[in-house]
Structures are given as structure tokens and as C-alpha cells.
């Protein structure tokens, strides 16, 4: 596949666009240019500087996806599948020598089946839009990445997106039963099954979920949906310090309660919310364990959980529905990036009992690299998102954080690995975390990745240079 | 790999056993012979007639597994990994030209971590033994194939075993976080992670789970464990006919209750239990929906579920713990095979709303092939196990059921496919269901399987001819 300099790619891209326009005028294809620049980047790479954007195809059904892939294969042009572009690891990063295949026209909710507890959707359906369609049926789609209002199901599948409710309901993979996929040779295949169980052949559905568009392009997904719980309740526990709050997480594990969400916000995260949202959470404590319970026996659950958190030293309160809603909104979007600061975000996960050690290590890492570190955690599954910041010095370039910020994030990733964790809990490897992936995966395992990739995409056509 | 007649294999097997004995005397290896005959078959192929059994190696740790695999690769002898031999699809079927690699000496529970909610086990640990170790910690390992008392975790992983509690807790795949695996080249790799979340690279754990030992040999598994529920309760609902009971399953789906187990027993299954166990279930009704509820709010759950089942026409009762235990034991092992009958068992799954159509179709299929059909269903996930029987005629061979029985099972599999289901819900393809797999998987998808197999096992060394 094209390893040639970008300058050589232009004629090949032109020929591909011409060929598609000639043979398949029903497919909208935009030529490379300034107006496609947004398609070169995703939310994880948006600070990068690009010149002209890539060519972009907008197929409107599975057959059009096949035609685009076949034409690109014939022209020797790599294809970068793109959902909503909300990914945080550069999975949809494209250069001018590549063709972006956008799924934004594939937005049909094909079917909702309450009896089978499934929905069948095209990849461009936005996560929140699917839930809006499901709600009148008394159903919901569980995976809830923080980007649920803007991210697409196809992108969620490509990254095996996580979210807040994963500890109880699983990540995206646990909610995907079957996929229609266009492979690198342009063939359209169905894998998986609409039944909840099934073990015919290899689990190619799970192999495709999280493969970041490198093994195939999802054109339809059969996802599992669930009845909306009979009750939901928010419980808060504030602690006098970050360390005490982090320690208390283990007390939840020792109960029989498995909340739908357990979030942990450390002292600097609470400070950031107060600063950006005008709240006064810090007046209640220095760290916050924010819990959502759901399902039957909500009073019993609340009692067992509260007792454990009080015993662990927390100031525990069952919130009203209104206050709970405010707290969840603050958790999701209450923090902000301060003017005049460099900011880099991370996404590591550790075995859940090790979370206190991660928080305890931040002070040393921050000192070593002269940065500030804050972190919120999806504590129920050990996934946390550190924010590394530093005041931009006189004359510093806001678009180019000092290398020290990257080094601090890498130290946090190494720490997670040393505790038995992983360098990415839910955002994926994409284009920006390949060096971190190499810290985690052994050479032999990377060889195995390459062999699987070559097996399904021998030409290296689909999203080369991503995912591992 | 050896496609040569078995008669040619003997010298190669002898040379392999000699080589292992010479270089690695610490590894017990048995030569082919009558006393290894049991290692040629599993529970799904035990009626087959074999002459001498295969050579069998009994490695006792991961390094010994590597040595056996490397020696076999050097000798050009295929390796058949074997757990407890309780599989129902011939996944552990071996012939005299192959080397069986038994994991029965790999039986250590390496670690139980309540704080991380994981256990680390060797593959030879029996499912029930793991739960016995976990119980004092207040924990359990959820996947519960009917064979839990005899099947090993390694075999459960190889087949992605299901069980009764899958609708709520997922199949084996949902409980496997990380694997140590010996690949076909003898290398030992770790895939997955101990954290509950993690998306670094392709999901090779899920690819290996259910791959029936064709892609690697598991030597250690990190599995997810859960707190024992605060309560469990058994609810029964008897219906006047099989059809009415099957229809009532949809009423459960329309509640917000998601039981840990929903089993459905049709009229002939109840008859079989009464006949073999001396019970009188048929006096209570012609079909039975047998439910286990667990968790918080058990009274609320019971009330909502009972109301729905009563509205659907059921005679509903909350069973005492003692009666519940008897009923679950009858469900698991109360039926029997009648003297003088041919018997074949199936394992299809359909989208759960289609279960009534499956039961409704049995009469026609039975008539067409002059057989009797009964079926119990894991109704919560659409998986059902039809039993096809016929009285053996004068002079008939008990070991060779009439082809009509196979044809009836194939008709049931085709029916499941026509309803959007699968030819195997939880038993796997093994050696005995490859023709059925070919009904389900398209040629292009089978090609993809072959490509993945070749990518990870180019020599075709590991359990050739299984899984797809």
C-alpha cells in the first residue's frame, strides 16, 4: 500500500475520484481541499495542523460502501472509515493520500424488537438518537461513552467504546450480537447472530469490535437492548482527602451491591468543576464517590452501600433526582480547560483494587515533570482519565504542549502497566497511542496482530497504521 | 499437516514419543494403545468405535506445554488439546495420527482476588471446584454449563460454554479477562488484561475463547468473579400445554425483571422426568417455566414476574428453597434416555421471541421423520436442546441411530437458521457439526475463518478440522 510521499498521491486520488464519479455518480465524493480539512482529524488530533483535507466519500447504503472500497482497492488508495469524528485517539486521522469513507449518511434505525431485545442500526446512528428511539419502548442501549450525544454507534463499535455504566452492563462489545461488514476485498458479510447465544465458528464479531476500522467497515449492527430499570438513584460520598476517597472504593467492592455507575473525582477535579461551573463541591469534601444505583430493591441497595461508605469515613447522602441530575451533568461536562494552560488527557485502566496506588503516585509524577495532574475514574471498572496540565510560559505555543506533559502521561501509562493494567481503557490506540501499545503488547503478540490484519486485509487497505 | 493414512502415522508418533521421552523425561507421555482409547473421544462422540487410542501427553506447567507443542511441530504431528473430555461436539476427538495434549495436570487455582473481582486459574481446574474455592470469599464464577461438576475451565473457554445463567451473566466469554496461551509455534503469550476494561489492540482473548483449541492452548486464565447474590428464589409456572407455556416466555421479556435463569420444559420433557425420576410434575401441568430470581428486591421481582406469568395463564408458585433445589436438580439431570430407544441431542438458538415457533414446528418435523422430539430451553437467551428419539426396531443397532434422527436434527437446525438463529448455541462445532456450520456461515466467512487460522497456525498443527 501507498508508502510513497503524499506529493505523489494526488494523481492517484484524482483518478479514484474520477472513477467513482464516472461509474457511481450516485455516491457523493468530495475532492481533497480546504473544505474537507475537518475530515483529516478527530477529537483526539484536532490540534494537529493540516493543509488540504483528504478526499471524502459519503456512501448511503451498504452497496455504495462496497463500491467505494472496491474502487479504492483498485486505485491503491487506503480507506479511512470515519464515524462522527469524536474519537480521542486519532482512529479517524487521515492524510491527503487516503480516502475518508464517512458513515454519516448511514443513519437508519432499521428495527427495534422488544421481543428479541435487539435493535438493528446503521453505523451512522448517534448513540443518543438510538436511545431516544428506544425509550418509548421502555428499553435502552447500555454503552454510554461520555460522547453519547455526538458519537455514532459505528464509531462506538470501532473503538469498543466504554462509558460510565460498563461495570454493570459491559462495554460496547457486550452489546453487539451481529454485524454486517464490508471487508477489504469489497465483499459484504454477516457475522454473529440475532440470538443472544451462539458459538458457530470463531467470534469474528468480537474481533471486529474495537479493531478501529482496520479489519472491515460495519454497515449494520444488531445490538442488544435492555429494559429501562425500575428505579435509579444517586448516592454521594464525600471524603476529607483524595486518598481516603480512593481507599473507600474497595469498600464498595466488598458489598454485594454492584452499582450501575461508580465515579471517583479527586480534589483537583472537584476544584476544576467549582472553578468552571460556579459550584461549591469542595465545601462538601476533598474527593467524591458518585454512585448511581439502579434496578429492584433500590432501598436495600442504598442501605448496604451507604453503610459501607459511612464505615469508610464518607459523608454520605442520597441525592434528590434533581440534585442527582445536576451532579451527573457536572461529572460529564462540569470541568474545563483553563485559559493559558497546556492540557493533555489520558485513559488508563488498572485492576480496581489498585486505584488508590495510582492516585498516590500522581504527586511524584507531577513533581518529576513539573505538571499538575487531576483524574476522574470510572472506578467500577478501574478506568481513569488523568488530566495533565501546566501553565503556558511567556511565548509558549498553546498548540504544542511541552514534552513534559507527554512524558508525564507516559509515566502514568507505565504505572498502570506495572499494576497489571492497560494503556487504554476505552479510547483506543488509533494513531496517537501506538508507542504506548508497544509498551503493553509483546513483540509476539504484535506479530499475531499483524498476521490477523494481513489475513483479512492483505493489501493493507483499511485504516493502515491504527489500532495496535 | 498429516493427511496421510493413519497406518503411515505410527512411525512418526513413535519418533515423537521417543523424542519427548529423551529430551523431556519430566513430561509424562503415554504411547498409543488400548489403554488410551478413552482419549480418542469426548462425551459427544463416545458412541464412536475406535481401535487403539492416540498418544497422550500430560504436561504439568506452561513450559511443558510449550515443549510438547514444539516437539509435535517438529515431528509434523497434529496436537489435540483436551480438557475434561465432557464436550458434546467432538471438539476433543482425536485419531491415532494425532497427539492428545491433556490439561488434566494443570489444576492450580493460582489466585483469588476479591478486591479485583478476578481469579487466576490453570485450565484443568473443574468449574465446580473453582466455585468451591470462591464460595468462602462470598464470590462465584457465573458460567454454569450443565457439566459444571465435571467440565474444566479450559474446556469451557475452548467452547465458550454457556449454561443456565447466561441471559443475566453472559457466557464464558463475558467472564474471561486475560489468557496465557501457547501458540502453534510454541511461544507463550499473554493477551487481555486484569483490569475489567481495556482496548489495547485486537480482542484476541475473545478470538481465542470458543476457538476449540485451534488457535492456541490456554495455560492460564484470568476470569471475572462476582459477589454471591444476596438472595435467590425459585418461581414455577405450569401451563396447560407446551404452546401456552412457550407463549408465556414473551410475557417475562415484557417485564423489567431479568431472572438469573429462565428454563422451559415442554410436555414430553416433563413426561421424561416423571418416568425417570418418579416425580409427578405432569400432574401440575403440561409445560413448565422454571425461573430463578436473584439479587436485591427479590420480593418486588417475584411480584412483577408472578403477575405477568399469571396473566399469561400460568399456575404460578414461589417454591420453598428445598423444593426449588429439587426442581433444579430434576431440570439438570432428571430426564433420561429410555432403554430401547435411539437418542440424539441438539443445541440450537433462536432470537428469543421465536421460541414458540420452534416448539410449534416440532410436531411436523417429528411426523416427517417418524421420530419423537422433546426440548428443554434456556429460554432467557433463546437456546434450546431438542432430544430426538425413536424406538429401536427388532435387530436395530443401538450404537447407530437411524439416519432419520440426524435428518430431524438437521431440519431443526435449518428451522433455527430460518428464524435468525444459529446451529449451535453453546456446545460448539467440534468434529460433529461442521456440516451444520456450513449451513450457517457463508463461503466468504468460512474463508475468513481459514485465513485467521492460517495466520496464527500456518502449519495447521492445532486441532485441525474443528471449530468451523
Helices (H), A179-241: 204-208
* CATH number assigned to the domain covering B5-105: 3.30.43.10
Q: So what's the architecture of B341-427 in CATH?
A: 2-Layer Sandwich (3.30)
| Pick from B115, B167, B193: CB nearest A250 | B115
Give the angle subtended at the CA of A382 by the CAs of A378 and A387, to the nearest 5°.
60
Alpha-carbon gap: A132 to the closest alpha carbon of chain B (Å): 18
Contact B437 A200 (CB under 8 A): yes
Would you say residue A313 has pLDDT above 90? yes
Question: Is the pLDDT assigned to residue A220 strictly greater than 60?
Answer: yes
Chain A residues with CB inside 8 Å of B449's CB?
201-202, 204
Cβ within 8 Å, pair A209-B187: no
Instruction: Report CA B42 to chain centroid distance, whole Å.
Output: 12
- Nearest residue, CB atoms, A441 vs list B173, B201, B207: B201
Q: Which of B295, B424, B468 sits opposite A202 (nearest CB)?
A: B468
Q: Which residues are CB-contacts of A80 (< 8 A; sequence separation ≥ 6)?
A: A54, A92, A93, A94, A98, A99, A100, A101, A213, A463
Determine the pLDDT at residue A26: 98
Give the one of A170, A207, A425 whose C-beta lies nearest to B202's C-beta: A207
Q: Is the ipTM of this complex over 0.85?
A: yes
**Chain B residue closest in CA terms to A228:** B256
**Whether A440 and B211 lie within 8 Å, measured CB to CB:** no
Contact A69, A101 (CB under 8 A): yes
| Residue A7 pLDDT grade (very low, low, confident, very high; cuts 50, 70, 90) | low
According to the model, what pLDDT value does residue B319 have?
Answer: 98
pLDDT tens-digit series, residues A38-88: 999 999 998 887 788 999 999 999 999 999 999 999 999 999 999 999 999
Strand order from edge to edge, sheet including B28-30 = B28-30, B55-58, B99-102, B79-82
Which of B177, B310, B170 is CA-nearest to residue B238? B310
User: Does A160 sit within 8 Å of B201, measured CB to CB?
Assistant: no
Measured CA to CA, the distance from residue B395 to residue B442 in angstroms comes to 41
Q: How far is B355 from chain A (nearest CA, A)?
A: 10
* Residues of chain A neighbouring B421 (CB-CB closer than 8 A): 193-195, 198
Arithmetic mean of pLDDT over chain A: 96
pLDDT average, residue stretch A212-226: 98
- Count CA atoms within 13 Å of residue A357 on its CB side: 15
Domains of chain B: which residue ranges?
Answer: 5-105, 109-227, 232-333, 341-427
Q: Residue A465 — pLDDT band, cuts 50, 70, 90?
A: very high
pLDDT at B51: 80
Give the three-class secondary structure for A350: coil
Does this chain's domain A232-333 share its CATH topology with A341-427?
A: yes
How far apart are the C-alpha atoms of B367 and B382, rounded to whole Å?
24
Nearest alpha carbon to residue B212 among B437, B417, B368:
B437
Rounded to a whole number of angstroms, the distance from the CA of A197 to the nearest CA of chain B is 5
Q: How far is CA A380 from CA A106, A288, A304, A309, B427, in A?
A: 34, 14, 16, 14, 32
Query: Do the bridges between strand B28-30 and strand B55-58 make them parallel or antiparallel, or are there none, so unpaired?
Result: antiparallel
Residues in chain B: 468
Cα distance from B52 to chain A (closest Cα, Å)? Answer: 30
Mutation target vs B (from A196, A357, A385; most B CBs, 10 A cutoff): A196
Contacts of B228 in chain A (CB under 8 A): 256
Q: How far apart are CA B169 and CA B226, in angstroms?
A: 10
Contacts of B450 (CB under 8 A, 6+ apart): none
Choose among B118, B197, B437: nearest Cβ to A171. B197
pTM as predicted = 0.97
- Going from the first residue of chain B to its last (468 residues), give the mean pLDDT of each consecutive group of 10, the final group possibly shorter: 60 96 97 94 86 94 98 97 96 95 98 98 98 98 96 98 93 98 98 95 98 98 98 98 98 98 98 96 98 98 98 98 97 90 96 98 98 97 97 93 97 97 96 95 98 98 97
- Domain A232-333 CATH assignment equals 3.30.70.2190: yes
Asked if the Cβ–Cβ distance from B193 to A421 is below 8 Å, we say yes
B156, B168, B186, B197, best to mutate vs chain A, most A CBs in 10 Å: B197
Residues in B touching A257 (Cβ below 8 Å): 296
From the list A301, A383, A429, the residue facing B197 with the nearest CB is A383
Helix B403-418, helix B355-369: angle, nearest 10: 150
Which residues of chain B are within 8 Å of residue A297 when distances are taken between CB atoms?
Answer: 295-298, 300-301
| Interchain CB distance below 8 Å, A424 and B198 | yes
For A353, the closest of B115, B257, B300 (CB atoms) is B115
Mutate to test the interface with A, among B137, B164, B202 (most CBs of A within 10 A): B202
A97 pLDDT above the threshold of 90:
yes
Q: Out of A117, A194, A452, whose CB is closest to B253?
A: A117
For domain A109-227, give the fold: 3.30.465
Question: What are the angstrom distances between the C-alpha of A343 and each of A16, A338, A346, A373, B280?
Answer: 39, 9, 10, 10, 71
Give the pLDDT of residue A46.
85
Q: Within chain B, what is the greatest distance between any pair of CA atoms? A: 71
Within 10 angstroms of residue B454's Cβ, the number of other Cβ atoms is 14
pLDDT reading at A1 higher than 80: no
Q: What is the distance between the alpha carbons of residues B404 and B94, in angstroms, rounded to a whole number? A: 27
Chain A residues with CB-CB distance to B115 below 8 A: 250, 253, 351-353
Name chain A contacts of B116, Cβ cutoff 8 Å: 351-354, 382
Amino acid at each position: 500500500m501507498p508508502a510513497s510521499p503524499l506529493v505523489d498521491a494526488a494523481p492517484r486520488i484524482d483518478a479514484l475520484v474520477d472513477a467513482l464519479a464516472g461509474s457511481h455518480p450516485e455516491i457523493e465524493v468530495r475532492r481533497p481541499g480546504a473544505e474537507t480539512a475537518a475530515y483529516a482529524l478527530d477529537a483526539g488530533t484536532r490540534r494537529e495542523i493540516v493543509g488540504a483535507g483528504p478526499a471524502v466519500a459519503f456512501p448511503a447504503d451498504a452497496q455504495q460502501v462496497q463500491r467505494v472500497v472496491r474502487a479504492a482497492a483498485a486505485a491503491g488508495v487506503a480507506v479511512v472509515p470515519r464515524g462522527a469524528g469524536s474519537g480521542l485517539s486519532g482512529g479517524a486521522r487521515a492524510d491527503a493520500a487516503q480516502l475518508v469513507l464517512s458513515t454519516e449518511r448511514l443513519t437508519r434505525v432499521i428495527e427495534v424488537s422488544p421481543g428479541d431485545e435487539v435493535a438493528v442500526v446503521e453505523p451512522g446512528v448517534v448513540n443518543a438518537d438510538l436511545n431516544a428511539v428506544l425509550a418509548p419502548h421502555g428499553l435502552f442501549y447500555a454503552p454510554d461513552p461520555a460522547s453519547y450525544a455526538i458519537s455514532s454507534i459505528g464509531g462506538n463499535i470501532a473503538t469498543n467504546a466504554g462509558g460510565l455504566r460498563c461495570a454493570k452492563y459491559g462495554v460496547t462489545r457486550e452489546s453487539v450480537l451481529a454485524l454486517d461488514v464490508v471487508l477489504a476485498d469489497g465483499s459484504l458479510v454477516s457475522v454473529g447472530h440475532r440470538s443472544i447465544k451462539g458459538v458457530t465458528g470463531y467470534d469474528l464479531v468480537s474481533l471486529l469490535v474495537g479493531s478501529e476500522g482496520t479489519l472491515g467497515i460495519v454497515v449494520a449492527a444488531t445490538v442488544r437492548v435492555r429494559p429501562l430499570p425500575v428505579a435509579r438513584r444517586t448516592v454521594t460520598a464525600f471524603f476529607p482527602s483524595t486518598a481516603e476517597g480512593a481507599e473507600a472504593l474497595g469498600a464498595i467492592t466488598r458489598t454485594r451491591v454492584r452499582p450501575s455507575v461508580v465515579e471517583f473525582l479527586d480534589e483537583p477535579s472537584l476544584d476544576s468543576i467549582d472553578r468552571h461551573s460556579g459550584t461549591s463541591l469542595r465545601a462538601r469534601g476533598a474527593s467524591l464517590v458518585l454512585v448511581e444505583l439502579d434496578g429492584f430493591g433500590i432501598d436495600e441497595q442504598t442501605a448496604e452501600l451507604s453503610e459501607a461508605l459511612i464505615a469508610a469515613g464518607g459523608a454520605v447522602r442520597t441525592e434528590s433526582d434533581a440534585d442527582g441530575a445536576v451532579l451527573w451533568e457536572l461529572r460529564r461536562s462540569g470541568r474545563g480547560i483553563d485559559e493559558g494552560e497546556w492540557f493533555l488527557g489520558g485513559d488508563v485502566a488498572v485492576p480496581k483494587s489498585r486505584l488508590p496506588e495510582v492516585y498516590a503516585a500522581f504527586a511524584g509524577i507531577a513533581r518529576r515533570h513539573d505538571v499538575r495532574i487531576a483524574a476522574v475514574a470510572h472506578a467500577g471498572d478501574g478506568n481513569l482519565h488523568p488530566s495533565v496540565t501546566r501553565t503556558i510560559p511567556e511565548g509558549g505555543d498553546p498548540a504544542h504542549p511541552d514534552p513534559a506533559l507527554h512524558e508525564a502521561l507516559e509515566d502514568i501509562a507505565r504505572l498502570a502497566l506495572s499494576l497489571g493494567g492497560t494503556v487504554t481503557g476505552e479510547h483506543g490506540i488509533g494513531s496517537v497511542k501506538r508507542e504506548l501499545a508497544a509498551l503493553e503488547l509483546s513483540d509476539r503478540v504484535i506479530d499475531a496482530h499483524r498476521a490477523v490484519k494481513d489475513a483479512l486485509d492483505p493489501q493493507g487497505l483499511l485504516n493502515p497504521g491504527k489500532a495496535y
